[in-house]
Amino acid sequence: MTTTGAGAARPVGRPRSSQASDAIISATLDLLAEGVTIEALTIEAIASRAGVGKATVYRRWPNKEALVIDAIACLKGATPLLPGRSVREDLVTLLAGMGKANDTPEGRIVLAVLPEIRRNPELSARYAAMVDSRREVIREVFRRGLASGELTPDLDVELALAMLSSPMMSVASMRMFPRVSEERLAERIVDLALAGMRGPAPCE
């Protein structure tokens, strides 16, 4: 122990190049965005596209799934600006944004990856954490609604979340109403769902 002395492991030798890691992540996302299926996605193709040896990939990630998860975690969806005038308006804005995201490259990537996630519990947790950051925005809207009395105080926030986002996702990704705009769909879903969530205030 002649070195730095910090409690952590002392990495000797050449340190890993973060450039390589970035190139690998980018290559993965590129391929995914080009429509390559998860199943058709290949470590060899990723390494070659990243200009990197296969071992450099395997040194960082144990397998394709882990790499893909890390890759999609790097996708940052732009959070839409919320008007903040009412719970309904905010939810419609958020849901419409979710629906539209299905058509962006990022949305397609996430969709492609989704099924693999369900299988691996560890990855599932990491994915949940990632998704949670996006849900947090909706949760915040709910909290404001509860405070303002727009929403009933005994609302189960997590369940309400599912009641809103999962119909939107399934309707949008299945293209069940191809002629209806995302905004209109979001409105109808929010209206239907909110009916059971409204607070007692505006009853009379």
Partner DNA sequence: CGTTAATCGAGACGGTACGTCCTGTCTTCGG
Partner DNA sequence: CCGAAGACAGGACGTACCGTCTCGATTAACG
CA distance 87 to 69: 33
Q: Which residues share a beta bridge with 198?
A: 151
**Contact mark string toward a copy of itself, 57..96, x via CB under 8 A:** ----------------------------------------
Which range in 1-9, 34-42, 72-80, 134-142 contacts a copy of itself by CB under 8 A? 34-42
Q: Which of 83, 84, 115, 149 binds a copy of itself (CB under 8 A)?
A: 115
- Report the 10 Å Cβ neighbour count for 158: 11
Nearest approach in angstroms of CB 69 to a copy of itself is 14
157-174 vs 87-101: helix crossing angle, rounded to 10: 40
Window 128-167: residues binding a copy of itself (CB under 8 A)? 128, 156, 158-160, 162-163, 166-167
Nearest approach in angstroms of CB 90 to DNA is 43
Ordered DSSP codes for 2-29: -S---SS----SSPPPHHHHHHHHHHHH
Nearest approach in angstroms of CB 176 to a copy of itself is 6
Nearest approach in angstroms of CB 148 to a copy of itself is 19
Closest C-alpha to 93, from 185, 178, 155, 161 = 185
